[in-house]
Structure 1
Amino acid sequence: MQVEEKYQNFDTTKVVCTSKELPCSLQTSLEKIAQKEGYLKYKLLSRSISTEGGNYLASLYEVDIKGRTTTGEKETNIFIKHSIPEFNLADVSEIYCRELFFYNEVSKVFTSLEDEAKIPAEERYKSAKSYYESNSEAIILQNLSKDGFTTVFRMNVMPLKFAELSIQQLAKFHSLGLVMERKRPEFFEKKIKHLKQIIKFEEKNLEFCKKMFGTSVAILENETRKKLEEQYPELLDKYMKCLNGDGTKFKNLCHGDYRMNNILMKMKEGEITEVVPVDYQIILYGSPIIDFLYFIFGATDREFRKNHMDHLKDLYHNTMKNYLSYFDMDVNEIYPRKTFEDNFNECFDFGLLTLLFLGPFFFADENEVPDLSKDDLSKQSVSVDLKFKDRLQEVVEEMIENGRL
């Protein structure tokens, strides 16, 4: 990790980017942020961040603005996601537009709804502060790591407390979508319902899906591998339909990538006390149960699910019930428990599909992370951690026992 310092004064007429880490295109945005934050003289310290294979859509940076204002010394800590040149599974510009849309518009609607309902600060949905000088190349946010937030390593089984807090935030996110649909119907109709799945299932990307599927089943025993290979067309079709929300009886605003690595956590005296969801690059109008299942199966083992799945389902639905009551809305009229259970049962095998098509991403060795900017994705190979075999085998057994395979 390299750190570069650069000092600026506001009487400077020309800005020269000297950092080897930070792209020059971000210089103007950082200037505007410094001006808005009231700096008279300041320095920039920038450094690149390794995600250890946890992020495929951006180059990540931390920037500290340190300097003098009219009221004294000040420091502003910033986190930047800078777009990769190409991402063959989706349109890069659309990815960044969606995240900007969340921070610039959706989060503002969320806040206004919570203000109107007079929801206590500790009960509100949590998100990072955004600096609106962001453009189509970058997302510029408050650097929560400076406030003690971090992530759980992407290959670990998530701690129960982390799962509980994350499920509560997911329930509030989905609830706010329901509230928005009823209390901001024009906004919802024009801006939310058009948000389709952003992943492009074109011919070359279908070849990549097949490659990832092959990587996953190759680690399984012969009989199981053969069974899954025979069902590949049906499994792929169901995977795409689940992502698109096809056939679901209940649709809502969805996060789209609600996995452990996209949720920051804060600890105090060894206990997880707070979580903040991030990465809204593929928000969509779809089936909210997919967010739930994607989160659970992406970072748990069978023992965790056996011991805690029912508890987390109860927590999700009860959180929706309590949160919607602030808005004088009854969850039993909008999303009754039976509908939730029906959705869960309809889509349960998405847990397996998640690992078959995305498991190699979750469990890729740090030095073997696939380069998704390359043209021929079908030639990409991924070396996966040994943990993946046990996780996938457990899910396969679970699906067989539940009559899904």
Structure 2
Amino acid sequence: MRVRKISSLHRDLVDIIGKISVITNIKKIEHFIVFGTDEIDCFLGGLHKVVIKGIRDGAKVKINVLIKWHSNPKDRVYFRSAYQRECVFFRYIVPSMIELQNTYKIIEGLKMKFPNCILAKMEDGEETIVIYLDNEFKLLSRFFKLDFSHSSIVLKNLAKLHGLSFVLQKTSPDVFENIRNLCGKDIQYAAPENIPESLVYYFKESLKVVSNSEFKAKLEEISPHILEILSKSTAPVRNYSTICHADCWTNNILFKHQGKRPVEALFVDYQLVRYASPVTDISYFLYTCMDQEILCNNYDRLLNIYYGTLSAVLRQCNLDVKHIYPKEVFQKHLKEYSVLGLIEALISMKIITADTEEALKMTEMKYHSSEPPAITGCKTKNQAIYVERINGVVNDFFNRGYSIDALLSK
């Protein structure tokens, strides 16, 4: 673990740390920033874990914070919309949802926990997000094989987030209308012409390792249309959309354990929050984070946990899931919108399963190059894992009879 003292940091980052110390009322501060930690496996840069020590109310204190901030002005411009979306989340969505939980006295097991945000700035040139890092919550390795206990906690938390969104829409329509206007347009995929063409190359690269010839042929048929499908699958669905995390995968989920047993989960990185079908979150998590064994043995059970938790949250707020998100609508969404998770997995799995250095290079090409020739035909160090995961996702999707092209006609 490499530690760098404050004196060697960018001057603007020093100023941000100074603002944090004022907000948290810590005097006589010492700062250390940690690079390359196990807790932060970030592919897009701009993350800084900072340890702040000092005096507060006469006592020694130490806090860990995560600062999202890019030193390069070009990067700040490139990621501006993502910073703005996360600011919307912490400024408007979180306070509204916490108020709902307090108003309806939602029981502890059904409460959604949110990161404690210290600072959220979205003004041009000053894009910054700062959150506390709770030492009780830890990030798992990308290569950790998610079991049923971890996955079920994630599905419960998605249900809580979606449930509170439904409640907010019903009980505070004016407040929600403002939120919907701020995050109804998907950052990544709203405009197909602005989606990086390199995503198609990653999709086609994954098709090369699909072993089932029938499934492979179907995927090849839609390959010219995947950008359109991504755009349509992330657009709002009349009457049945919720606030979605939109990037719910292992790197953005912290777990709290008692012994080896997970007892709580905390979602972080809300920079892609959108208003869309809840299934976009569910399918994204299941297909980017789980292998075929877990999917095959636990998929239906996990969906039942999700829907049961959603029902319970709504019931706590005097709403009936049968009226808000009927089971038949949920099942229809699963059939039509799970394609989002499938395509995202095919695009990103090579990066997800790669070693960190390989993943960094591929992510750079994915977002900043029109064509990533370096991955064409390239085998990673973890090729066997990559091939296994791709085929697990593809087999599960098609064996469930889900549609890859239903959204194209909408």
- TM bucket by the smaller chain? 0.7 to 0.9
Q: Counterpart of 2:113 in 1: which secondary structure?
A: coil
Letter in 2 for 1:169: N
* Long gaps (5+) in structure 2: 405-410
Which of 283, 302, 305 is 2:292 aligned to?
302
Q: What one-letter code is carried by the residue in structure 2 that aligns with 1:57? A: L
Residue number in structure 2 paired with 1:396: 394
Q: Does 1:376 align with 2:365?
A: no
Query: Is contact 1:267-1:273 (8 Å) kept?
Result: yes
The alignment of Structure 1 onto Structure 2 pairs a total of residues equal to 388
CA deviation vs aligned residue, 1:251-295 (integer Å, no higher than 9, x gap):
121111111221101222121121101110011111111101111
For 1:204 and 1:105, how far apart are their aligned partners in 2?
Answer: 27
- Counterpart of 1:229? 220
CA distance in 2, matches of 1:100, 1:123: 25
**Could you tell me how far apart the structure 2 residues matched to 1:167 and 1:333 are?**
21
- Note the residue ranges of structure 1 that are not aligned, 5 or more in a row: 7-17
1:9 aligns with none
**How far, CA to CA, are the matches of 1:215 and 1:51 in structure 2?**
29
Query: Which residue type is aligned with residue 50 of structure 2?
Result: V
Q: Which residue identity does 1:198 align to in structure 2?
A: I
Deviation (angstroms), 1:376: 2.8
After the TM superposition, which residues 3-402 of structure 1 pair with which residues of structure 2 at under 5 Å, given as runs? Answer: 3-6=3-6, 18-19=7-8, 22-50=9-37, 54-83=41-70, 85=72, 91-132=78-119, 134=121, 136-144=126-134, 147-195=135-183, 196-200=185-189, 205-221=195-211, 223=213, 225=216, 228-245=219-236, 250-369=240-359, 370=362, 371=364, 375-379=368-372, 381-382=374-375, 384=380, 385-386=382-383, 387-402=385-400
The alignment-based identity, stated in percent, is 25
Call closer, same or farther: CA 1:39–1:150 in 2, change over 3 Å: closer
Contact 1:154–1:261, Cα closer than 8 Å, also in 2: yes
Distance 1:394 1:58, change over 3 A: same
Q: Distance in 2 between matches of 1:355 and 1:241?
A: 17
Q: 1:128·1:142 contact (CA, 8 Å) conserved in 2?
A: yes
Deviation of 1:237 after TM superposition, in Å, equals 3.1
CA pair 226-328 structure 1, distance change in 2 beyond 3 A: closer
Q: Measure the CA separation in 2 of the matches of 1:289 and 1:227.
A: 22
Q: Is contact 1:204-1:378 (8 Å) kept? A: no
- Is the CA contact 1:297–1:351 (under 8 Å) kept in the aligned structure 2? yes
Q: Distance in 1 between matches of 2:295 and 2:172?
A: 37
CA drift of 1:43 comes to: 1.0
Partner of residue 10, structure 1: none
Q: CA deviation at 1:239?
A: 3.1
Distance in 2, matches of 1:204 and 1:117, equals 42
> 2: distance between equivalents of 1:87 and 1:334?
40
- Tell me the distance in 2 between the aligned counterparts of 1:44 and 1:52: 18
Could you tell me how far 1:148 is from its partner in structure 2?
3.1
After superposition, what is the alpha-carbon deviation per residue over 1:36-92, rounded to whole angstroms, capped at 9, x for unaligned?
32333121121123569953333222212112233321222211122374569x941
* Greater share of helix: 2
Q: Tell me the distance in 2 between the aligned counterparts of 1:140 and 1:298.
A: 27
- Partners of 1:45 and 1:53 in 2: CA distance: 15
Given that 1:248 and 1:287 are in contact with CA atoms closer than 8 Å, whether structure 2 keeps it comes out as no
Offset at residue 377 of structure 1 (A):
3.3
Contact kept, 8 Å, 2:204 with 2:223, in 1: the verdict is no
Q: Answer whether contact 1:78 1:142 (CA < 8 A) is retained.
A: yes
Partner SS for 1:377: coil
Task: Using the TM superposition, give the Cα deviation of residue 141 of structure 1 relative to its aligned residue in structure 2, in angstroms.
Answer: 0.6
2:408 — aligned with what? none
TM-score by length of 2: 0.85
Give the conservation status (yes or no) of the 8 Å contact 1:216–1:355.
no
1:113-140 deviation line (CA, Å, top 9, x unaligned): 1111122445310111111264543211
- Distance in 2 between the 1:128 and 1:120 partners? 19
Instruction: Give the direction of change, closer, same or farther, for the CA distance of 1:203–1:87 in structure 2 (3 Å limit).
Output: farther
Give how far 1:109 is off: 0.9
User: Cα–Cα, structure 1 residues 359 and 118, in superposed 2: closer, same or farther, change >3 Å?
Assistant: same
Q: RMSD over aligned Cα, in angstroms?
A: 2.8
1:58 is paired with a residue whose SS is coil
Q: Residue 80 of structure 1 aligns to a residue in which SS?
A: strand
Q: TM-score, normalised on structure 1?
A: 0.86
